[in-house]
């Protein structure tokens, strides 16, 4: 009877192979023997490595833990963006887990919560918990990347340079590690001065900027004094530099008195009456 018609179980197959060994010594037989013995090392190694169908069915797989983390973070990130009215796209990456992890199979649905930080953005840690008959808890690290168009420089600029529209562009970047100081509108930077030297393609932060002076020491200015029912304008001279909203010293050219005035624009200051 042909062995191809009736497959021999592994143990019987090897017995048959050794029986044939006692009867034949041909090259075709040696090829048959090699085929018979090929699975033997693998079969012998599986118990040693701890793999079996029974073991696989009694443990929670790392794929289940990763899947629970991904599903939770997807929902948490979406709700956070909607609640914060943030426009952007996000990506979730769960770190690889140790394949030697052996957690009992949970007889209830896994519970996943955010352990840290407070918001699902950047590097995060989730707590995956089983509340079943054999409870356990494991912490799964992951990363939520949020991509938004942010303002970057198109060329290197030195400290104290006044930023112009041509110096800026909007580029999509991961903002997870940028904090809250990045800019999303070029008009937030145009006309301001840099507090430090920056390179090309560098993300521009609000901390990199300061309001540029619109009045320089020695400039001729118009001093406006407004009261409840009267408004007076007189010529003056700026004694210090000033940006909009700042208080500077100004000399009244009519009275030669020095007064404190608030800069309201180029060549314009205002004093209270």
Same domain assignment for residues 78 and 27: no
Same domain assignment for residues 31 and 94: no
Same domain assignment for residues 153 and 205: yes
Same domain assignment for residues 65 and 116: yes
Residue 271 CA to residue 261 CA, distance in Å, equals 5
Boundary of a domain, candidates 185, 211, 237: 211
Same domain assignment for residues 164 and 190: yes
> Considering the domain boundaries, does residue 249 fall inside one?
yes
**Looking at the predicted structure, is the pLDDT value of residue 125 above 90?**
yes
Boundary of a domain, candidates 130, 146, 162: 146
**Looking at the predicted structure, is the pLDDT value of residue 134 above 90?**
yes
Name the domain count of the chain. 4
Whole-number pLDDT of residue 56:
54
> Considering the domain boundaries, does residue 224 fall inside one?
yes
> Considering the domain boundaries, does residue 2 fall inside one?
no
Q: What is the mean pLDDT of the chain?
A: 82
Same domain assignment for residues 238 and 267: yes
Which residues partner with 174 through β-bridges? 147
Same domain assignment for residues 108 and 165: no
Same domain assignment for residues 67 and 131: yes
Same domain assignment for residues 44 and 65: no
Instruction: Find the range with the poorest average confidence among 15-29, 50-64, 150-164.
Output: 15-29
Q: Summarize pLDDT for 227-238 with one digit per residue, the tens.
A: 777 788 999 999
> Considering the domain boundaries, does residue 237 fall inside one?
yes
- Domain of 251, CATH number, reads 2.30.30.760
> Considering the domain boundaries, does residue 1 fall inside one?
no
Boundary of a domain, candidates 35, 51, 67: 51
Q: Could you write out the three-class secondary structure of the chain?
A: CCCCCCCCCHHHHHHHHHHHHCCCCCHHHHHHHHHHHCCHHHHHHHHHHCCCHHHHHHEECHHHHHHHHHHHHHHHHHHHHHHHCCCCEEEEEECCCCCCCCEECCCCCCEEEEEECCCCCEEEEEEEEECCCCCEEEEEEEEEEEEEEEEEECCCECCCCECCHHHEEEEEEECCCCCCCECCCHHHCCCEEECCCECCCCECEHHHEEECCCECCCCEEEEEEECCCCEEEEEEEECCCECCCCEEEEEECCCCCEEEEEEEECCEEEEEC
Residue 189 CA to residue 209 CA, distance in Å, equals 7
pTM above 0.85, yes or no: no
Same domain assignment for residues 39 and 100: no
> Considering the domain boundaries, does residue 67 fall inside one?
yes
- Domain of 178, CATH number, reads 3.90.1210.10
* Domain span holding position 129: 59-146
Same domain assignment for residues 36 and 101: no
In Å, what is the CA distance from 215 to each residue of 20, 27, 84, 255?
A: 104, 100, 39, 21
Percent of the chain scored above 90 by pLDDT?
Answer: 62
Q: pLDDT confidence of 22, banded at 50, 70, 90?
A: very low
> Considering the domain boundaries, does residue 166 fall inside one?
yes
Same domain assignment for residues 63 and 124: yes
Q: Summarize pLDDT for 211-258 with one digit per residue, the tens.
A: 888 899 999 999 998 777 778 899 999 999 998 889 999 999 999 999
Whole-number pLDDT of residue 87:
86
> Considering the domain boundaries, does residue 195 fall inside one?
yes
Q: Summarize pLDDT for 74-113 with one digit per residue, the tens.
A: 999 999 999 988 888 999 999 999 988 999 999 999 999 9
């Amino acid at each position: 009877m042909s062995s191809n018609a009736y497959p021999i179980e592994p143990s019987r197959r090897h017995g048959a192979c050794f029986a044939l060994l006692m009867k034949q010594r041909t090259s075709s037989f040696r090829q048959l023997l090699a085929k018979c013995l090929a699975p033997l090392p693998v079969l012998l190694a599986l118990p040693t490595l701890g793999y079996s169908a029974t073991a696989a069915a009694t443990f929670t797989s790392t794929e289940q833990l990763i899947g629970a983390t991904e599903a939770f973070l997807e929902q948490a990130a979406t709700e956070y963006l909607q609640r914060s009215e943030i426009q952007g796209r996000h990506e979730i990456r769960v770190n690889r887990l140790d394949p030697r992890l052996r957690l009992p199979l949970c007889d209830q649905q896994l519970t996943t919560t955010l352990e840290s930080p407070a918001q699902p953005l950047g590097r995060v840690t989730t707590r995956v918990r089983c509340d079943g008959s054999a409870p356990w808890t494991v912490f799964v690290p992951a990363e939520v990347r949020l991509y938004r168009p942010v303002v970057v420089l198109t060329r290197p600029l030195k400290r104290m340079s006044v930023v112009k529209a041509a110096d800026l562009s909007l580029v999509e970047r991961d903002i997870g590690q940028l904090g809250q100081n990045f800019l999303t509108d070029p008009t937030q930077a145009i006309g301001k001065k840099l507090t430090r030297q920056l390179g090309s393609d560098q993300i521009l932060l609000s901390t990199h900027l300061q309001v540029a002076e619109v009045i320089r020491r020695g400039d001729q200015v118009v001093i406006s004094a407004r009261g409840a029912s009267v408004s007076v304008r007189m010529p003056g001279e700026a004694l210090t530099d000033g940006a909009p909203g700042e208080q500077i010293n100004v000399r009244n050219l009519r009275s030669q008195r020095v007064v404190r005035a608030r800069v309201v624009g180029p060549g314009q200051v205002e004093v209270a009456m």
